[in-house]
C-alpha cells in the first residue's frame, strides 16, 4: 500500500514522545517518529548502542513509548532473532520485531550477527539509519562514511569507498532490501510497511542527516537529504528476492540518467564535513557514486 501525505499526518505521535534527546534536525529521530509510529501498537524494538540508545532518554523521562530492549553493539540481530522466535512460540506473530540502529553497528561492528540473522532467515527487520559516522561517541568514521567527508578520525577527509551494505544484504539472500531518505517520507514509510509485511529477514538503509557531525544547519536537514537524491549520491531503490529485481523509487527516477543530476557541490557545500573537499576528493566521491549505480543497474 502506498502511504500518502495524509497518512503521514495521521500517524499518531505515539512511538516517540515530546522531550526526546535527539539534536535539532536529527534525521534518525524524524524517521523513527513516522516509521515506528506507524506500527506503534505492535512492535518490539531492539536498539544497539547508538544515538537511539541516547535520544530515547531513560526512567520516567523516557521518550520511547514502545517496548524497547537496548543491546550491546554487535548483538542486536541475535537478540531480535530470539525475541521474534519467542513471539512465534507464544502465537504473537503480529508483533513485529524491528532493529533500529546506526551505521556503526549496521555496517561495521554488528554486521556479522546481521548477516547471521539474514542467513537464518529470521523474521525481523533491520533498519540502519545512516548518519555516516559513529555519531554519539564523537563522529568517528564508519564503513558507511562518504569518501572525502571529514570525520573525527579522518580530519583530512575519508579516503575509503563506502561499504555498500544493501548489496551485501542482497548477496546474502535477504527477503527484501530498500534504501530510503527522510526527504521523501511517504516513500520511506511505504517501504517500511512493505518490509514488515513480508516474512524473513528484511533490511532498510535510511539517509539520516546529522547536523552536529555533518556540521550543517539543523534547518537544512531535509534539503541536504533531498540533494543527496538529486545529485545521485543516494540511490533510492527497493529489491525483492522473489523477483531478484531492483526497482528505482519514484523520487529517484529522473536522476538515473546522470545528465539530469545536480552537481555534487550543491550537496557538499551545505556541510562543514564536505564543503572544503578538494577537486580530487570530489572526483573520488563521484566515482564512488558511479560504483554504487553500476552495481544497482545490474539488478534493474
Ligand atoms: C564493542 C563496543 N565498542 C564501542 C562502543 C562505544 N560505542 C557506543 S555507541 C557507539 C557509536 C555508535 O555509532 P552508530 O552505530 O553509527 O550509531 P550513532 O551513534 O551514529 O547513532 C560506540 C562507538 C560500544 N558500546 N561497544
Ligand atoms: S548526533 Fe546526529 S544522529 Fe545523533 S541524535 Fe544528534 S543529529 Fe541525531
Find out whether 47 and 70 touch, Cβ atoms under 8 Å.
yes
What's the whole-number average pLDDT of the chain? 97
Q: Describe the chain by its helix, strand, coil percentages, rounded to 5.
A: 40, 15, 40
Give the H or E element holding residue 192.
helix 185-197
CA distance 119 to 115: 6
What is the separation, in whole angstroms, between the first and last Cα of the chain?
A: 22
Q: Which CATH number does 5-297 carry? A: 3.40.50.970
Q: Where are the domains of the chain?
A: 5-297
Going by alpha carbons, the residue nearest to atom 8 of ligand 2 is 26
Any atom of ligand 1 within 6 Å of the Cβ of 142: yes
Going by alpha carbons, the residue nearest to atom 5 of ligand 2 is 22
Any atom of ligand 1 within 6 Å of the Cβ of 212: no
pLDDT at 275: 98
pLDDT at 58: 85
Confidence band, pLDDT 50/70/90 cuts, at residue 196: very high
Instruction: Quote the percentage of the chain above a pLDDT of 90.
Output: 96
Pocket of ligand 2 (CB under 6 A): 22-23, 26, 28, 51, 55, 131, 135-136, 210-213
Q: Where are the beta strands (DSSP E) in the chain?
A: 43-48, 68-71, 96-101, 125-130, 133-134, 140-141, 176-181, 202-207, 237-240, 245-248
Any atom of ligand 1 within 6 Å of the Cβ of 136: yes
Any atom of ligand 1 within 6 Å of the Cβ of 64: no
Query: Nearest Cα to 21, choosing from 141, 136, 183?
Result: 136
C-alpha distances in angstroms, 214 versus 93, 103, 126, 138, 143?
Answer: 39, 15, 24, 11, 16
Within 10 angstroms of residue 113's Cβ, the number of other Cβ atoms is 24
pLDDT at 59: 82
Confidence band, pLDDT 50/70/90 cuts, at residue 61: confident
Q: What is the 3-state secondary structure (H, E, C) of 140-190?
A: EECCCCCCCCCECCECCCCCCCCCCHHHHHHHCCCCEEEEEECCCHHHHHH
Ligand 2 centroid–CA 91 distance in Å is: 37
Query: Nearest Cα to 297, choosing from 258, 242, 241, 263?
Result: 258
Query: Nearest Cα to 133, choosing from 100, 114, 166, 106?
Result: 106
Ligand 2 centroid–CA 185 distance in Å is: 18
pLDDT at 238 over 90: yes
Find out whether 52 and 27 touch, Cβ atoms under 8 Å.
no
Query: For residue range 2-35, what is the model confidence (pLDDT) as tens digits?
Result: 999 999 999 998 999 988 999 999 999 999 999 9
pLDDT at 173: 94
Any atom of ligand 1 within 6 Å of the Cβ of 252: no
CA distance 67 to 289: 38
Any atom of ligand 1 within 6 Å of the Cβ of 181: no
Ligand 2 centroid–CA 212 distance in Å is: 7
Q: What angle do CA 74, 52, 162 make, to 5 degrees?
A: 60
Q: Looking only at Cα atoms, what is the longest distance across the chain? A: 58
Ligand 2 centroid–CA 155 distance in Å is: 19
Going by alpha carbons, the residue nearest to atom 26 of ligand 1 is 73
pLDDT at 60: 79
pTM: 0.98
CA distance 110 to 147: 22
Amino acid at each position: 500500500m502506498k502511504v500518502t501525505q495524509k497518512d503521514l499526518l495521521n500517524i499518531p505521535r505515539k512511538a516517540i514522545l515530546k522531550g526526546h534527546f535527539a539534536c535539532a534536525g536529527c534525521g534518525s529521530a524524524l524517521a523513527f517518529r513516522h516509521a515506528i509510529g506507524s506500527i506503534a501498537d505492535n512492535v518490539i524494538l531492539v536498539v544497539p548502542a547508538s544515538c537511539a540508545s541516547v535520544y530515547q532518554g531513560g526512567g520516567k523521562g523516557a521518550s520511547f513509548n514502545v517496548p524497547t530492549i537496548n543491546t550491546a553493539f554487535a548483538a542486536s540481530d541475535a537478540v531480535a532473532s530470539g525475541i521474534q522466535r519467542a513471539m512465534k512460540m507464544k502465537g504473537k506473530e503480529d508483533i513485529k520485531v524491528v532493529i533500529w540502529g546506526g551505521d556503526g553497528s549496521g555496517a561495521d561492528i554488528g554486521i556479522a550477527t546481521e548477516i547471521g540473522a539474514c542467513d537464518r532467515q529470521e523474521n525481523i527487520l533491520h533498519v540502519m539509519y545512516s548518519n555516516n559516522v559513529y555519531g554519539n561517541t564523537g563522529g568517528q568514521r564508519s564503513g558507511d562514511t562518504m569518501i572525502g567527508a571529514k570525520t573525527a578520525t579522518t580530519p583530512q577527509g575519508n579516503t575509503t569507498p563506502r561499504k555498500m551494505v544493501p548489496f551485501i544484504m542482497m548477496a546474502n539472500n535477504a527477503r527484501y532490501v530498500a534504501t530510503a531518505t527522510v526527504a521523501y517520507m511517504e516513500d520511506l514509510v511505504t517501504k517500511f510497511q512493505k518490509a514488515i509485511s513480508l516474512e524473513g529477514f528484511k533490511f532498510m538503509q535510511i539517509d539520516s542527516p546529522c547536523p552536529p557531525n555533518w556540521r550543517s544547519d539543523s534547518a537544512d536537514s531535509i534539503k541536504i537529504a533531498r540533494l543527496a537524491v538529486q545529485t545521485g549520491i543516494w540511490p533510492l531503490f527497493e529489491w525483492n528476492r522473489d523477483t531478484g529485481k531492483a526497482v528505482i523509487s519514484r523520487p529517484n527516477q529522473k536522476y538515473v540518467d546522470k545528465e539530469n543530476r545536480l552537481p555534487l557541490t550543491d550537496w557538499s557545500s551545505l556541510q562543514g564535513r564536505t564543503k572544503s573537499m578538494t577537486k580530487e576528493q570530489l572526483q573520488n566521491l563521484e566515482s564512488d557514486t558511479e560504483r554504487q549505480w553500476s552495481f544497482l543497474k545490474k539488478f534493474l
